Amino acid sequence: MLKTFRLLVILFGMVAVTGCSNLIQKPESQWTVEEFYDRAKSEFDNGQWKSAIEFYEKLKANFPYGDYAEQAYLELAYAYYRYDEPLSAIRELDEFIRLYPRHPQLAYAYFLKALAADSINRSWLDRFITDPANRDIQSTQQALRAYQEVIQRFPNTDYAIAAKQRIVIITNRLARRDLQVAQFYYDRQAYLAAANRAQRIIEEYPNSQSSRKALVMLRKAHQKMGLDQTAADIQQVIELNR
């Protein structure tokens, strides 16, 4: 009798394990939208960006409409951004903006798009470049336009405040890069080109950290070109702005 009881217990345990195993190994073709989302969100919350991306993409492929798909766009875009695939993040956000132009999180979508654009030039190779001013100018300008769009569309939001702060950083970066270019021309005795680049800094980035150095470069370039009176006038401006 005891042996029979033990055998029944073992058999019951095997059935239970088999049943659990079947649940765990349920084919994805039978998953509900909730199951796809729960798995993706679990990976997302744990910072497992690659796995999160995989399951959000599967959710969208199997259930392209509805509240879960709607939320998946934003979380998938953020996962791509954190996984260092900013172009994929921008693609998802552009699609989200097109599909849901009145969504309550639209401001967030535009701001995340700007962040992704800002990170394009921070690839793994670019991280070896110490000075951000040396990075790709085109992607920097793209990020600047994206932040400006956030301010224009959502002026009374925290996202606009954050965008303004990022614009200051980017503006300083662009001005610093132009100053490096001006110095490059100056070192090669291309004084007119150096003066033109310094003048551009003063006109386009007057509030940047490099504007005063640009004035000094402008004065030096004019001195080298023999334009002493113009150089003296620029020196007066430098003195007034101390």
**Residues of the chain above pLDDT 70, percent:** 83
Could you report the per-residue pLDDT of 127-181, keeping only the tens digit for each?
A: 554 444 455 677 788 899 999 999 999 999 999 999 999 999 999 989 999 999 9
For residue 45, being part of any structural domain is answered with yes
Do the beta carbons of residue 216 and residue 238 sit within 8 Å? yes
Output 123 or 91, whichever has higher pLDDT: 91
Q: Does 10 have pLDDT greater than 70?
A: no
| Domain region containing 81 | 33-100
Could you report the per-residue pLDDT of 178-203, keeping only the tens digit for each?
A: 999 999 999 999 999 999 999 999 99
Average pLDDT, integer, range 210-227: 95
Do the beta carbons of residue 172 and residue 140 sit within 8 Å? no
Alpha-carbon distance values, 124 to 12, 115, 119 (Å):
54, 17, 11
pLDDT of residue 124: 44
Average pLDDT, integer, range 27-42: 93
pLDDT of residue 24: 57
Gap between the Cα atoms of 57 and 71, Å rounded: 12
Token couple for 140: 């920097």
Domains contained in the chain, number: 1
pLDDT of residue 122: 60
For residue 63, being part of any structural domain is answered with yes
pLDDT of residue 12: 45
pLDDT of residue 132: 47
Q: Does 20 have pLDDT greater than 80?
A: no
Gap between the Cα atoms of 135 and 176, Å rounded: 11
Gap between the Cα atoms of 89 and 81, Å rounded: 6
For residue 59, being part of any structural domain is answered with yes
For residue 229, being part of any structural domain is answered with no
For residue 145, being part of any structural domain is answered with no
Do the beta carbons of residue 69 and residue 60 sit within 8 Å? yes
For residue 232, being part of any structural domain is answered with no
Q: Does 120 have pLDDT greater than 90?
A: no
pLDDT of residue 135: 53
pLDDT of residue 140: 84
Question: Exposure of 7 by Cβ count < 10 A (0-12 exposed, 13-18 middle, 19+ buried)?
Answer: exposed
pLDDT of residue 125: 43
Q: What is the mean pLDDT of the chain?
A: 86
Token couple for 3: 């042996």
Do the beta carbons of residue 76 and residue 92 sit within 8 Å? yes
pLDDT of residue 136: 60
Closest CA to 210 of 197, 193, 220, 221: 197
Do the beta carbons of residue 47 and residue 31 sit within 8 Å? no
For residue 203, being part of any structural domain is answered with no
Gap between the Cα atoms of 94 and 229, Å rounded: 53
Domain holding 62: CATH number? 1.25.40.10
Could you report the per-residue pLDDT of 63-87, keeping only the tens digit for each?
A: 999 999 999 999 999 999 999 999 9
Q: Does 4 have pLDDT greater than 70?
A: no
For residue 85, being part of any structural domain is answered with yes
Identity of the amino acid at 54: E
pLDDT of residue 187: 96
pLDDT of residue 123: 52
